[in-house]
Amino acid sequence: MYEFAGGEQAFLALAAATHERCLADPELNHPFSHHVSPRHTENLAAYWAEVFGGPSRYSSNLGGHSGMLSIHAGEGAPEEMGDRFEACFVQAMDDARLPEDREFRKAMRDYIHWATREVNAYAPAGTHVAPGQPMPRWSWEGLVRA
């Protein structure tokens, strides 16, 4: 899926477009304008690229899946924030000019729906993330089980 999407540049464009849409959202604006790394777009692109079959840069440099979950754990975000993020991601696929292929878009929507639910599961205060969780891999058929 990484190559079909357009590789590294496509995921950078998707991450940038998603970030911009989150900044424009009245509920997501605050966390996206105050609590993100200066390299948030590049890091987000690296994470998504790896999930969809690209290079393992996020795992090598930023702690992999456990590292990503740790960023969000215990933040107490309301569940609807995941829905709002999902909507931004879906719209950002157009902004980033990702392929309009129906099966590709469905797989991308299925992924972000799954991913926002997983991140939300770690939102309650006091939630801890186990180290070494495997990086999820997403294919045309969905989550790849080991």
CATH 3.40.50.150: does it fit domain 2-143?
no
Q: Which of 94, 102, 119 is nearest to 17 (CA)?
A: 94
CB 59 within 8 A of CB 50: yes
Mean pLDDT of all residues in 49-59: 97
pTM score of the predicted model = 0.93
Lowest mean pLDDT among 46-55, 66-75, 90-99: 66-75
Structure confidence at residue 32 as a pLDDT band (50, 70, 90): confident
Structure confidence at residue 145 as a pLDDT band (50, 70, 90): confident
User: What are the pLDDT digits (tens) for 78-92?
Assistant: 778 889 999 999 999
Torsion angle of C-alpha atoms 8, 137, 80, 104, degrees rounded to 10: 60
Q: What is the pLDDT of residue 101?
A: 98
Cα 34 from Cα 12, distance rounded (Å): 21
**Residue 50: is its pLDDT beyond 80?**
yes
Which runs of E-coded beta strand occur in 39-113?
Answer: none
- Say which residue, 28 or 111, is predicted with more confidence: 111
Report domain extents, the chain. 2-143
